[in-house]
Amino acid sequence: MRSDIRPRRTRRLCRMRTTVDIVIYPGFKAIEAVGAINVFDYANTRLRQLGCDPKYELRIVAPHAGAIQSDTLISLAAARSLDGLPPADVVVIVGARDIVNVLAACGAVVDWCRTSADRMKTIVGLCSGSFFLAEAGLLGGRRAATHWSVAELMRQRYPGILVDADAIFIRDAHVWTSAGVTAVFDLILAMVEEDLGRDIALAVARDLVVYLKRPGGQSQFSEHLLSQMTVHPRVRDIQDYIHRSPKADLSVKMLAARFAMSERNFSRVFQKETGHAPSAYVEQTRLDAARRLLEDSEQPLKWIAMESGFGSEARLRQTFQRRLNVTPAAYRERFASTGVDDVTGVA
């Protein structure tokens, strides 16, 4: 593909400038602010390589201008304060580790969200940054995501919000919210894809060495992360075995026998330690394995069903429809790698 040939959609959209405010405050999560800035900036770089003007005009704003200390050694310089500042086309509010205390100390951000809401075209709450939107009354009656560790707190404090603790990110009209920390890449890449198309978004994802659509789909933490959270050594061994051997006989009877436990005791301990029944855990692990195979290989569905432990194409299809509301073929069409090194045609 010649690099001087630009997709018609890209030529049209790159002429439409979008201002983006990255809202920070003392104690903000550095990785989220820098992550969002990098995705937008890499998209601009790709557009320049295609001969287009940059689309995103980035501004760092805070309750007061100047150097703002993050949760790490990193400080970012806010060029402008929120006072009297009209909101940009896109407003991105990052999260904090100690969101309860930060929320109490940063009432200016909440007030600005509340008074500027009518003028915001798009508002984004990253991770626990969604609490600022909730406190400002912008999430009432909406579905919203946040970091899994504070999802229950959000439910308790704001019962009118439909909190989805398993979502990577959620878009509800013009309001976007995300899960914790690295989910910033998923959400901002989705915004870039909507603005500039899949080719540009995929090129940016490859530049950053992240998934455009991570294999976990809607779940913000994979079964392997759940395994790391388990403290019982015998249960962790069982989880590792399930992950390594999705094709094996993973019935409760066989798993209990393998680890010299009665079926009743095995099921009780496993449920207590993981929060999942063994059969549900096995199904999710096999579903994750099937997703990866659909994304990374061109093997037929029958082969994928066998390799991931479902045994038959019919059972694979039924599980995808029940759990994801999509067929395996449709999932592959949407998420599979193109196999092309550079879909934009830029070397």
Domains and CATH numbers, the chain: 8-208 (3.40.50.880), 223-335 (1.10.10.60)
The percentage of residues in the chain with a pLDDT greater than 70, rounded to a whole number, is 85
d(C-alpha 23, C-alpha 32), whole Å = 11
Q: Band of the pLDDT at 217, cuts 50, 70, 90? A: very low
| SS3 state of residue 169 | strand
Give the lowest-confidence range in 38-47, 181-190, 331-340: 331-340
Residue 343 has pLDDT above 70, yes or no: no
User: Average of pLDDT values for 161-173?
Assistant: 87
**Beta strands at 175-178 and 169-172: parallel, antiparallel or unpaired:** antiparallel
Q: What is this structure's pTM?
A: 0.67
- Burial class of residue 131 (count of CB atoms within 10 Å of its CB; 0-12, 13-18, 19+): buried
d(C-alpha 96, C-alpha 49), whole Å = 35
Q: How many CB atoms lie within 10 A of CB 118?
A: 7
Residue 175 has pLDDT above 60, yes or no: yes
* pLDDT given for residue 2 in this prediction: 32
What tens digit of pLDDT does each residue of 176-194 get? Answer: 999 988 999 999 999 999 9
What tens digit of pLDDT does each residue of 99-151 get? Answer: 999 999 999 999 999 999 999 999 999 999 999 999 999 999 999 999 988 99
d(C-alpha 194, C-alpha 190), whole Å = 6
Q: Band of the pLDDT at 228, cuts 50, 70, 90? A: low
d(C-alpha 92, C-alpha 28), whole Å = 12
CA distances from 181 to 35, 36, 38, 146 (A): 9, 11, 14, 10
* pLDDT given for residue 94 in this prediction: 98
**Beta strands at 56-62 and 122-125: parallel, antiparallel or unpaired:** unpaired
